Structure 1
Amino acid sequence: MAATVNNAFKEFMRDKVNLDPDKTKTARKIRDNLIDNIHSLGSNEDFFNLYHDIDIAFGSFARKTKIRPLDDIDIMIGINGDGSTYYDSGYEVKIYVNDDNSPQKSCCNDNTNILNSTKVINKFIKELKNLNDYKKAETHKNGAAATLQLKSYEWNFDIVPCFRTTKESDGRDYYLIPDGKGNWQKTDPRKDRDKVTTLNQKHNGLMLETIRLVKYWNRRPTMPLMPSYALECLLLQYFDSVDSVSDYIDLRFRDVLYYIKDNIWYSINDPKEIQGDLNTLTYDEKLKISNKAESDYEKAKEAISAEIDDKDHEKAIKKWAEIFGSEFPEYSED
């Protein structure tokens, strides 16, 4: 219940969109403890030589763009290269194990020295089952991570084994992670992290909660679901393109809808400059998303007019509920 639009959005963001702060604090602590526990497995001579310095938390939880529920937390666990080399064909990356005594050798394709990422994940899964408070460990549905469930928590940990390259001719080094098909692929979550941090600072800390609100809107079953990462990158393009944004989240949301309406038709650039265009939506999906963004943009304008011009917060709150659904707070004078 809320008597003003501002209070309605505060309540909505606190109770329905943002992660619970106490749960987030616990999750970060458990994540960090889990990383330490995984590295304790490195004392097993049959396991990989782990490289703690290149471990990195990634994904929406790490970037603070995740919305409720807290269902998964992503971690990349570094493996020492042990003299291995890699080759990037432009379509796939292969890692070659050059030391027959390396623990990596047991995960190569039969009769080759080509490191199989699926076998690496399976070896992680075997070791993860030795952890305390373990409930279940299995391959992630995308085939590119080990998913770990602990007994005491409702969220999963998606654990991605990784290597880090030396600097290439472009001056960059990359993370190599499983591609879900037995080979490897390049990524660099540092680029994502730095882009989000820079733009959020540019807009005085107002960007992150806007992204979370738009993710909630995207998740409602009123249009095709846009992939969360692609949506986030589209929003980064928006915040990169404007010099300033409103202090009020309802006004920021309105402006973002207008941007989505027009720009869902175009390329969505990968901030890492690795994956290229992230916009894989079909024409029909783009049309439906554009139409929904335009429809809700008009409703947002009506809600803002009711609040600012008519001073009618009840009407405005009801209009916002048409956009966000029944979980948006109801109007109350109390």
Structure 2
Amino acid sequence: MTSDPNNEPTGEPEGKLWRADEYAAGNPDAPRINATLLSLVRNEEVEGMVQSMMDLERTWNSKFNYPWSFFNDVPFTEEFKTRTQAVTKAKCNYYQIPKEHWDVPSWINNDLFEESAEILKEQEIQYGNLVSYHQMCRWNSGLFYRHPALQQTRYYWRVEPKVHFFCDVDYDVFRYMADHNKTYGFTVNLYDAPQSIPTLWPETLKFLAVHPEYESENNAREWLVDSTRRPEHNIKANGYSTCHFWSNFEIADMDFWRSKAYGDYFDHLDRAGGFFYERWGDAPVHSIALGLFEDASKIHWYAICIAQYPQAKITDQIEGFAI
């Protein structure tokens, strides 16, 4: 049993858990699996990245030594590499995102984007007028797992700059995912701003009309279309509750993103243009796909205490997803 700073038990999942002592440096049979800690980060965010790494190394990774994989749309500086590698005994890998994965797609109309960005700004949608934010959302939604460096990697734990990890975690979360056939792990559900995704659900319905075979028999569609907790969100988002897994923390099996169902879904959304004409984030895109295409029993809640700046409003957190 792990504990938080107030010594309250946080709970551990049931079943076989692989403990830190099995990963001792001298153990040639350490059960580490094919996984990485993954960060999309800029050189100028090194302070925040080091802070996140120090927390996660202290609470978890110093016991398991999983590698870190850093991604940037420009080359990493020597300072960034030196400072991040100094925080961990694990291997750090530094990769540049291919230009074709980061550039604004050719089918996006720049005049329409600028007009849309201005509307988002007027509606006080955070980062809505920043091209780089739209590029980031698109990359995190459907392109990160296509990077050549990750083709032989299956699981990842997404780590953002300026995140605090408070709880000691004494078991291998990746082994838990693999051993218990889990696809996605999350810590909290939040509501998105419906003004940022008004056509995301209608486009999803268009896709499902063509591909009804992709819906899982044991899906979480009711969670996605819930209209009881925040009916105004459901109305403004045209049928979507806007509730989503907070993807700033996610532990996931990339084989799901690599599936034909998700690949076809992302390509449909990408062509629709909402990553730029609206502000579709990777969190609602991931959540809708998981809620529709995956068996709900394969989505796992992790009792890991975290916080991020700017912190999500506590009023935006809900019990939401239940299996």
TM-score bucket of the superposed structures, by smaller chain: under 0.3
Higher relative contact order (CA 8 A, sep 6+): 2
TM-score, normalising length: structure 1? 0.22
Structure with higher Rg: it is 1
TM-score, normalising length: structure 2? 0.23
